[in-house]
């Protein structure tokens, strides 16, 4: 039994060294090659000053080097901190500041601009050393105060033979940053034990074998990537890297399934619905697919029918979970049980192996009746260690199991903030949010973070981001703002300001400038009125 994620790679490399571990658009790596290259990186990291528990950033587009990167970091005893390759510099710098990153892995084409942008932000000054897979091109200079190391360069015999640090299942494996209501991203700290509990459950549930090919469509900063990378490693299967830009070209995604013989597809709902809308699915066979896993949003039943029509050999699974506790519920779709109407709600499902999920009523008691609504809590070894550097929020969201019969165990549970209930069929169903967090295109987004970005623009006096439910992407984001009478700001200028602070998926699709925003009796912005107004305007526009 493995006690650290990277041991899964070592075991598969020993059993099947020549089997393909990673397939890229132009190159590939066997398990032996991936194991050896990540060993080399791990030794460079240790020589560079990385010690067990050290957070190491990784800012790369999906490529072979990025997979080498995460394993090399883990083998060095460190935890990897993925940074969205498309994120604005200020957001990247906020992640650097939150985890006090001193070490960063990136590619040679981004090393100068990325490091300079981060270090020029007030929050990014901790960065000291950069690791790249290849030598820098002539003329590229890293920022002052920052050194760089080429991790593929040869080491002397003594360094090659030196033992790598011991890693236990309690060490942190990675820190994934999600949207934060305070305006700063929240770093969810995951241990090897947390990750392995999910990896082993998922590999067992979906019966993954060495013959499978798993798509790797999710970026490293998205928790779906944990399934792709490490379930494949456990089984000795192959992962097929789907470049990020394929998301804008659904026909390329559809053709990749056939061209690469992908057997297991795992993505957010909107990726699949876009493939059905614009990917010309009738031109693809999808014969290799045996399992299609989707999550992040509600799957509109009309698209589920379309998927079933075009992917005849595949079984479909709706998965529910959070970065803080990983996937805990799954619903295996019965092809013959999908209703004819379009108003059917796909269930969240029942628990995966080794998970305990329950609903707590507003009075703190556990819901026992069918249809009783309350907050969904998750108890499992997958529950994260907490939020990096934020003990207050950690104590709010990670609590001792509140059920009287379980309190002596002091087992931690995660408060999801989701309202749920159990239906007559025994499945859990989603019933809304207890706060203002929403999901759009599979991403969890705090509307408050968008509010703060809007308000940070000089001249904006008040602002509010609103979520409009949408069958295709989960929610569309619309914003309202007022500006001072002296300001010459327009909507385009405010949105340009936000692009420097927010990830692309968080940007409002529309921004309406108003003379004033509606208020409640307690002088709070009346978001319900704004939501109705936004819906009305969108309906008029068609």
Note the pLDDT tens digit of each residue in 509-539: 999 999 988 976 445 788 889 999 999 888 8
Chain segment 118-177, per-residue pLDDT in tens: 877 766 678 899 999 999 888 887 878 888 899 998 888 888 888 899 999 999 999 999
Instruction: Compute the average pLDDT of residues 327-335.
Output: 94
With a cut of 70, say whether residue 361 has pLDDT above it: yes
Q: Output the pTM of the full model.
A: 0.88
Nearest alpha-carbon partner for 255 in 218, 214, 215, 286: 286
Among 65-74, 145-154, 258-267, 339-348, the range scoring the smallest mean pLDDT is 339-348
Instruction: Compute the average pLDDT of residues 471-487.
Output: 90
Q: What radius of gyration, in Å, describes the C-alpha atoms of the chain?
A: 23
Higher per-residue confidence, 324 vs 520:
324
What does the block give as tokens for 68?
């080498």
Helices 491-499 and 447-455, packing angle to 10 deg: 120
Whole-number pLDDT of residue 104? 95
What does the block give as tokens for 360?
């707590």
| Matching residue, tokens 């200079």 | 141
Whole-number pLDDT of residue 344? 81
Query: Across all residues in the chain, what is the average pLDDT?
Result: 91
Whole-number pLDDT of residue 183? 62
Helix (H) or strand (E) holding 22: strand 20-23
DSSP 403: S
C-alpha to C-alpha distance for 128 and 126, rounded to whole angstroms: 6
Whole-number pLDDT of residue 134? 92
Instruction: Compute the average pLDDT of residues 25-33.
Output: 96
C-alpha to C-alpha distance for 502 and 495, rounded to whole angstroms: 10
Among 292-296, 341-345, 488-492, the range scoring the smallest mean pLDDT is 341-345
| Matching residue, tokens 């992407």 | 473
Higher per-residue confidence, 469 vs 230:
230
For 71, what's the count of Cα atoms within 13 Å in the CB-facing half-sphere?
26
Helix (H) or strand (E) holding 319: strand 315-322
C-alpha to C-alpha distance for 538 and 540, rounded to whole angstroms: 5
User: In this structure, are residues 501 and 91 in contact, taking their beta carbons and an 8 Å threshold?
Assistant: yes
Whole-number pLDDT of residue 200? 96
Long-range contacts of 246-251 (CB under 8 A, 24+ apart): 246/217, 247/217, 247/271, 247/274, 250/274, 250/275, 250/277, 250/278, 250/279, 251/278, 251/279, 251/280, 251/283
In sequence order, the 6+-apart residues with CB closer than 8 A to the CB of 220 are 58, 60, 62, 66, 70, 80, 82
Instruction: Compute the average pLDDT of residues 360-375.
Output: 92
Displacement of CA 137 from its chain's centroid (Å): 32
Question: 3-state class of 257 per DSSP?
Answer: helix
Chain segment 242-290, per-residue pLDDT in tens: 988 887 788 999 999 999 999 999 998 888 988 988 889 999 999 999 9
Please report the DSSP string for 168-223 in residue order: -TTSEEEEEEE--TTSS-EEEEEEHHHHHHHHHHHHHHTT--TT-EEEE-S-TTST
């Amino acid at each position: 039994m493995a006690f650290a994620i990277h041991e899964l790679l070592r075991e598969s490399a020993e059993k099947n060294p020549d089997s393909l571990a990673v397939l890229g658009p132009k190159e590939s790596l066997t398990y032996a090659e991936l194991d050896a290259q990540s060993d080399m990186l791990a030794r460079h990291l240790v020589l560079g000053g990385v010690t067990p528990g050290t957070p190491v950033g990784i800012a790369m587009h999906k490529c072979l080097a990025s997979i080498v990167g995460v394993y090399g970091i883990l083998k060095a005893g460190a935890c990897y901190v993925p940074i969205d390759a498309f994120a604005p510099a200020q957001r990247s710098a906020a992640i650097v500041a939150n985890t006090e990153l001193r070490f960063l892995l990136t590619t040679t084409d981004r090393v100068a601009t990325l490091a300079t942008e981060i270090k020029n932000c007030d929050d990014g000054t901790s960065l000291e050393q950069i690791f790249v897979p290849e030598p820098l091109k002539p003329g590229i200079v890293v920022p002052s105060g920052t050194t760089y190391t080429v991790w593929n360069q040869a080491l002397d015999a003594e360094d090659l033979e030196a033992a790598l640090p011991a890693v236990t299942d309690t060490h942190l494996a990675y820190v994934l940053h999600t949207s934060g209501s305070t305006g700063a991203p929240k770093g969810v700290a995951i241990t090897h034990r947390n990750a392995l509990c999910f990896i082993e459950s998922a590999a067992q549930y979906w019966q993954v074998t060495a013959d499978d090919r798993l798509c790797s469509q999710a970026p490293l900063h998205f928790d779906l990537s944990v399934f792709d990378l490490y379930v494949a490693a456990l089984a000795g299967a192959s992962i097929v890297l789907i470049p990020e830009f394929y998301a804008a070209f659904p026909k390329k995604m559809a053709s990749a399934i056939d061209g690469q013989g992908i057997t297991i597809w795992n993505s957010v709902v909107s990726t699949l619905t876009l493939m059905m809308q614009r990917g010309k699915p009738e031109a693809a066979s999808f014969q290799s697919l045996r399992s299609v896993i989707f999550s992040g949003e509600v799957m509109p039943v009309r698209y589920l029918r379309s998927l079933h029509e075009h992917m005849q050999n595949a079984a479909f699974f709706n998965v529910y979970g959070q970065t803080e506790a990983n996937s805990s519920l799954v619903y295996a779709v019965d092809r013959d049980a999908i209703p004819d109407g379009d108003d059917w709600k796909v269930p969240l499902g029942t628990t995966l192996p080794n998970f305990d999920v329950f609903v707590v009523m507003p009075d703190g008691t556990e819901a026992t009746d069918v249809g009783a609504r309350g907050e969904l809590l998750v108890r499992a070894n997958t529950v994260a260690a907490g939020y990096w550097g934020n003990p207050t929020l950690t104590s709010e969201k990670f609590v001792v199991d509140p059920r009287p019969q379980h309190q002596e165990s002091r087992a931690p549970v995660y408060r999801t903030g989701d309202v749920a209930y159990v239906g007559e069929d025994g499945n859990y169903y989603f019933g809304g949010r207890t706060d203002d967090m929403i999901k759009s295109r599979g991403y969890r987004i705090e509307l408050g973070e968008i509010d703060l970005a809007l308000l940070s623009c000089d001249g904006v006096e008040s602002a509010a981001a609103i979520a409009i439910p949408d069958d295709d992407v989960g929610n569309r984001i619309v914003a309202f703002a007022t500006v001072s009478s002296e300001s010459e700001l327009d909507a385009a200028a405010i949105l340009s300001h936000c692009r420097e602070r927010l990830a692309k998926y968080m940007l409002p699709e529309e921004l309406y400038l108003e003379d004033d925003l509606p208020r409640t009796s307690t002088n709070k912005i009346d978001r319900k009125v704004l939501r109705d107004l936004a819906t009305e305007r969108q309906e008029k526009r068609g």
